[in-house]
Amino acid sequence: MLAFLDTATAPPRTQIMESLSHPRLTGMTREDLDALARRLAPRQIAQTERASYQRRGAVRQPVSRGGVFPQKIGDVERVVLAVLYLRKLCTLDVLADALGDVSRSLIGNVVREIRPLLVETGLLPPQRPVTDPPPSSSPPHRARTTHRQVDSLRLQ
């Protein structure tokens, strides 16, 4: 936060999420995506509280805090990640690597939390268009990647 105030440059996470929320990837405008995140926010809070209640086995104590650790992924980010995964544009590993500071399992948990909310509201994202491969008489070719090719990709 201080680096942002001192240098006036956006943090990398913000830039990454800006790229991931592009309308071509999400299948909806940024305004629609923001509206979807706002619509799902109360349900996300209720879902989180319900899960906390089940873990505790009782109501929250009057003097207790809402949680000790802040969430690594915000509500809007959760919706964007779930939409990208459900549109089958990215794997959990790709999304985790893109963000850098979260694990594959955390992204999987996010998708498992958000998907029922999208189904419940009838707002599942449209699937990406599937293009049929051209017909061919030969069996499908399986590309092989050599160690040299992988090393050259890492150097770029």
**Structure-token pair, residue 14:** 């913000």
Which whole-number Å values give the CA distances from 23 to 8, 115, 124, 136, 153, in the listed order? 26, 19, 15, 33, 28
Q: What is the mean pLDDT of the chain?
A: 75
Mean pLDDT of the 80-89 span: 91
Task: Identify which has the larger pLDDT, 153 or 75.
Answer: 75
Which whole-number Å values give the CA distances from 43 to 86, 111, 122, in the listed order? 19, 14, 14
**Structure-token pair, residue 35:** 């509206």
Query: How confident is the model at residue 3, as a pLDDT?
Result: 55
Task: Identify which has the larger pLDDT, 30 or 149.
Answer: 30
Q: Give the pLDDT confidence of 104-148 residue by residue, as tens digits.
A: 999 999 999 899 888 887 877 555 565 655 555 555 544 444 444
Which candidate, 118, 94, 97, 74, places its Cα nearest to that of 25?
94
Query: How confident is the model at residue 14, as a pLDDT?
Result: 84
DSSP 24-43: HHHSS-HHHHHHHHHHHHHH
Residues above pLDDT 70, as percent of the chain: 63
Cβ-contact 129, 96 below 8 angstroms: no
